[in-house]
A and B are shown apart, each in its own frame.
Chain A
Amino acid sequence: MISDPIIATLEKIISLYDGIVEPAGEQILNALLTENIASLLSLPEEVTFTTVVDVPQSIFVTYHSEILNKLSDLLATKGLISALGVKFDGYLKTTGFEKSISERFVVQNGLMRFLSAKPEITRYILCNVSYTANADEKRIGLVSFMINELTGVTPVEIGDALFWESDKISLDQPETSLSISVDELFSLIEHESAILIGKSLENWQAKLIRAKARDEDRLKAYYNTISSEIRHKIDSKHLVGEEKDKEVARIEATERELSRKLFDIQERYRMSVEASLHSAMVVHIPTVHIQCELQRKKAKRTVTAVWNPFTKIIEPLRCELSGKPVYDFYLDDQSAKIISPTAWLDIVNLK
């Protein structure tokens, strides 16, 4: 296992495109490229890649090398979505959920009744969302999170389901149709990534806000001093008429200048973030689907809760207004929609 990330990535991609690779230590990779790849990279077919500078007759690769950009182009439309199965050798029990459902979920204004439980595969979508944030500098990053494709709950944990390589099963023809609507799924991805990216940029954002406040204070102090000096001049010299007007105009010009500079500062410290789904992996995990009936007055409906053997918990359901995972919720009168206490409070307050 090579630990140098550049060499490890080159090894992976060259092998994927039918090349032959042979690591010669941690930082050197001997490769025989296929004709296509050699031509794409503008390299001979037999080549040595290295991440140390002093290896003779080798291609020195850094994080900024053009070779990596060319490989990114090669994978522009490959590896976007993949699927993976996970093996679970244990027994998936289907009894005892009546009690655990009543213990786990609290319906504040209705009922939740256990109907049945059976082993089923649940698909979890591991979403990788890349982002570029621009402010006083540019930063790129990636956030990853899981969505339970059946319940729409996100973020959700899957425990150590992906920990053992030997438990992973490749799926040649995975089921591609989604239980959740595409629009709803996209909206979940957008919403969750906005939260996670916001969190990952919090410290930078706080730093910018602080620097902005500092610069604004300095500007205001500087220009206000100029203005007050002019005012002082008007008073002490008892200026009137045209002379006074001239000085007043100077004060106005100073204030305009201050506003313009304050606007510049706002622009300088404004952070804009653009994000998009970079890739996703649909993980198929053996779970237990627990059918339950929700009832509020006359409204009744059936929902599925999921018990995951890797986390050994019954996962939360999703608030159908805020999208938040909930164990404790209200039901609406019309269709027994699941509503989180916070969202419920908002509704009550609106009434």
Chain B
Amino acid sequence: MEKSYTFKFNSSNALEALKAGKYDPIDFYEARLSLFNLSVMADYDQLICLPTLTAIDKYWYQIETARKVLRQLGGRALLADEVGLGKTIEAGLIIAEYIARGMVQSLLVLTPASLVSQWQSELSDKFNIATITTDNRDPQQPINSFWTDNPRIVASLNTAKSAKHYPEVTSRNWDLVVVDEAHHLKNRTTLNWKLVNALNKRFILMLTATPVQNSLVELFNLLTLLKPGLLQTEAVFKKEYVDSRNGRIPKNPEKLRSLMREVMVRNTRALVDVKLPKRFATTITVTPAADEEKLYQELNEYLRSAESQLDRLSRTNLLMRAGSSPGALADSLKQLTLRLPDETLKSLARRASQVKQVEKAKVLVEMLTKSRQKTLVFTTCKATSTYLAETLLAANIPFAEFQGGMSLKQKDEAIAAFRDTVSVLLASETGGEGRNIQFANAIVNYDLPWNPMKIEQRIGRIHRIGQTQDVFIFNFCLKGSIEEYILRILHDKINMFELVVGEIETILGNVDDEFDFSEIIMDIWLKHQVKPELDTAFEQLADNLLKAKNQYQQIQELDEQIFGEDFEA
């Protein structure tokens, strides 16, 4: 530090004035300070949006990235951080800064369909940026007025490129376009690429952790969208920069890198120096009691045969609740019988409410009795949580509760109790969101969300910066349940619990653009009734995911070779 850093304090007019006691009215002082602040803002030395963004953890490299894109790259950039470093936050910071400076009024975010609502809520909750999406478009509104009347839109790439929407989205001007999962633009002959190329845009941000998947020409295609002409024509690019025998190997790498630096930022975990402790996952498969097992089987028989009576959402809901607890199932069944007076449903509801001995709860009590660790017990359903609260109380295990509907004060108290006095926090899906609970190092997924990203969010509550101890994850499931199969795939086959946060999302995206894990497993579950068939179908799904994981790892290695650490903010 000594040699590489020098500090000099100079005399100034202000110092002299202080010495001489030369005072001016406060208005002059404030004007002088305001002027200086403008000069700090001029070159983005200071981001004016930062003080207003209180709902996010802002890491220094994200701020550096935003500064670099604003200051050096002129608002046209490929954000290619490694998975899990927060490209969305970086994009959000850039959007918020442009909006705060009045440089951006209109915004278009293009994402895969599965991420549309996530983008909308992140922009709204974390950056106070209201948007409308193609998902919640009023069907009565004409398509052209949807695209022209709304200044800030989050759209599915597929919708935007469809024949009905394409002419409208490309006919207006956009101040800023953000394309998430931009590797979908790698091919210049696709409609995806043509759409983004045709947009009238001033600034553009493209986000992907894997800019090059198969060949360097993909990079050419992406960078041409950002800065047309930067890499000249495809023929010249190939001749100048691509090895003629292998399209993945750069020729003239230094020159290529120096050009890429004009449009690209790629932060690596090595730069960020985030060393998270290990995480260990254990599946706890509980053998259900006879009445539990019978109930589960009969429910499944009903769901498989009730395709014409029950919509898909209701069937999924019932099965998820059955995986949570008999109480949660009973609640849903009772609700359902109100609008669908079906004798089988009524009988199932009755039997679900009669189950008194819940085996999963017994195992949980045994586990918590022996454990000394601060443990976060997640449940999805209120009824399950209520049942667990009663069970823990009866077992004399002190605990605190953190539920979504609680007031801020109650939530604070729950966290304080968990930190200071009790070892168990019974939490709903939002449990601990936005709070520092890294003092805990064990998680129990008493019921399992079918969406792997939700499981990841739960783990992320404690496996994050600030965690110093190894993290233990206990996944509960009933033997023979759909959750058992889910865990077999996610845990045993693709080792999801050992992946870095964010990787599972990329892997699932590699299977198919619109791949929806929970829908696929529900399909398989309802379609196959006998165990061998179920085993084969889930095995097939696991193989596909494994292939996607391998493909992701290969791409990651390729990108590591091509980009290394040369594009850090």
- Compute how far the CA of A270 lies from the CA of B23 in the bound complex, rounded to whole angstroms: 38
Query: Which of B18, B23, B41 contacts A5, CB < 8 Å?
Result: B41
Residue of chain A at shortest CB distance from B15 = A277
User: Is B408 part of the binding interface, using a Cβ–Cβ cutoff of 8 Å?
Assistant: no
User: Is A51 part of the binding interface, using a Cβ–Cβ cutoff of 8 Å?
Assistant: yes
Query: Which of B9, B11, B38 contacts A6, CB < 8 Å?
Result: B38
- Compute how far the CA of A76 lies from the CA of B35 in the bound complex, rounded to whole angstroms: 11
Determine whether the beta carbon of B7 is less than 8 Å from that of A198: yes
Query: Which of B17, B27, B568 contacts A81, CB < 8 Å?
Result: B17
The stretch of A139-147, A234-242, A246-254, A304-312 in contact with B is A139-147
User: Is B236 part of the binding interface, using a Cβ–Cβ cutoff of 8 Å?
Assistant: no
Q: In the complex, which residues 1-56 of chain A have their Cβ closer than 8 Å to any Cβ of chain B?
A: 4-6, 8-9, 12-13, 16, 26-27, 51-52
Q: In the complex, which residues 381-436 of chain B have their Cβ closer than 8 Å to any Cβ of chain A?
A: none
| Nearest Cβ on chain A to B32's Cβ, whole angstroms | 4
The stretch of B42-50, B152-160, B188-196, B327-335 in contact with A is B42-50
The stretch of A96-104, A204-212, A286-294, A335-343 in contact with B is A204-212
Determine whether the beta carbon of B14 is less than 8 Å from that of A176: no
| Nearest Cβ on chain B to A126's Cβ, whole angstroms | 10
Task: Please give the residue numbers on chain A whose beta carbons come within 8 Å of chain B beta carbons, in ascending order.
Answer: 4-6, 8-9, 12-13, 16, 26-27, 51-52, 63-64, 68, 71-72, 75-84, 125, 128, 130, 139-142, 170, 174, 176-177, 182, 185-186, 189-190, 193-194, 197-198, 203-205, 207-212, 214, 266, 269-282
- Compute how far the CA of A84 lies from the CA of B26 in the bound complex, rounded to whole angstroms: 7
Determine whether the beta carbon of B24 is less than 8 Å from that of A80: yes
- Compute how far the CA of A140 lies from the CA of B41 in the bound complex, rounded to whole angstroms: 9
Q: In the complex, which residues 5-53 of chain B have their Cβ closer than 8 Å to any Cβ of chain A?
A: 5-15, 17-19, 21-43, 45-46, 48
Determine whether the beta carbon of A68 is less than 8 Å from that of B39: yes
- Compute how far the CA of A197 lies from the CA of B18 in the bound complex, rounded to whole angstroms: 21
Determine whether the beta carbon of A75 is less than 8 Å from that of B9: no
Determine whether the beta carbon of A12 is less than 8 Å from that of B15: no
- Compute how far the CA of A44 lies from the CA of B294 in the bound complex, rounded to whole angstroms: 89
Query: Which of B14, B23, B33, B46 contacts A141, CB < 8 Å?
Result: B46
- Compute how far the CA of A9 lies from the CA of B34 in the bound complex, rounded to whole angstroms: 6
Q: Apart from A84-B26, A185-B18, list 17 A-B contacts with CB within 8 A.
A: A5-B34, A12-B27, A63-B38, A78-B28, A79-B28, A82-B26, A128-B36, A139-B45, A170-B26, A174-B23, A182-B18, A189-B15, A194-B9, A205-B1, A272-B8, A273-B8, A275-B8
User: Is B141 part of the binding interface, using a Cβ–Cβ cutoff of 8 Å?
Assistant: no
Residue of chain B at shortest CB distance from A271 = B5
Assuming the contacts A141-B46, A210-B271, A273-B7, asked whether A79 and B31 have C-beta atoms less than 8 A apart, the reply is yes
Assuming the contacts A12-B30, A207-B568, asked whether A68 and B35 have C-beta atoms less than 8 A apart, the reply is yes
Determine whether the beta carbon of A209 is less than 8 Å from that of B18: no
Determine whether the beta carbon of B25 is less than 8 Å from that of A170: yes
Determine whether the beta carbon of B30 is less than 8 Å from that of A63: no
**Chain A to chain B contacts (Cβ below 8 Å), 28 pairs:** A5-B34, A12-B27, A13-B34, A16-B27, A26-B102, A78-B28, A78-B31, A78-B32, A79-B30, A80-B29, A81-B22, A81-B23, A81-B29, A170-B26, A174-B23, A182-B18, A190-B9, A194-B9, A205-B5, A207-B569, A212-B4, A274-B9, A276-B10, A277-B18, A278-B12, A278-B32, A278-B33, A282-B23
- Compute how far the CA of A170 lies from the CA of B29 in the bound complex, rounded to whole angstroms: 13
| Nearest Cβ on chain B to A218's Cβ, whole angstroms | 10
Which residues from B are CB-within-8-Å of A76?
Answer: 13
- Compute how far the CA of A6 lies from the CA of B6 in the bound complex, rounded to whole angstroms: 33
Assuming the contacts A63-B41, A205-B5, A280-B18, asked whether A16 and B28 have C-beta atoms less than 8 A apart, the reply is yes
Determine whether the beta carbon of B15 is less than 8 Å from that of A78: no
- Compute how far the CA of A79 lies from the CA of B60 in the bound complex, rounded to whole angstroms: 33
User: Is B291 part of the binding interface, using a Cβ–Cβ cutoff of 8 Å?
Assistant: no
Which residues from B are CB-within-8-Å of A81?
Answer: 14, 17-18, 21-24, 29
Determine whether the beta carbon of A75 is less than 8 Å from that of B40: no
Determine whether the beta carbon of B14 is less than 8 Å from that of A209: no
User: Is B565 part of the binding interface, using a Cβ–Cβ cutoff of 8 Å?
Assistant: yes
- Compute how far the CA of A124 lies from the CA of B28 in the bound complex, rounded to whole angstroms: 19
- Compute how far the CA of A216 lies from the CA of B290 in the bound complex, rounded to whole angstroms: 68
Determine whether the beta carbon of B27 is less than 8 Å from that of A269: no
Residue of chain A at shortest CB distance from B566 = A214
User: Is B3 part of the binding interface, using a Cβ–Cβ cutoff of 8 Å?
Assistant: yes
Query: Which of B12, B22, B23, B102 contacts A51, CB < 8 Å?
Result: B102
Residue of chain A at shortest CB distance from B42 = A63
User: Is B533 part of the binding interface, using a Cβ–Cβ cutoff of 8 Å?
Assistant: no
User: Is B243 part of the binding interface, using a Cβ–Cβ cutoff of 8 Å?
Assistant: no
| Nearest Cβ on chain A to B403's Cβ, whole angstroms | 34
Determine whether the beta carbon of B4 is less than 8 Å from that of A266: yes
Assuming the contacts A182-B19, A270-B3, asked whether A9 and B38 have C-beta atoms less than 8 A apart, the reply is yes
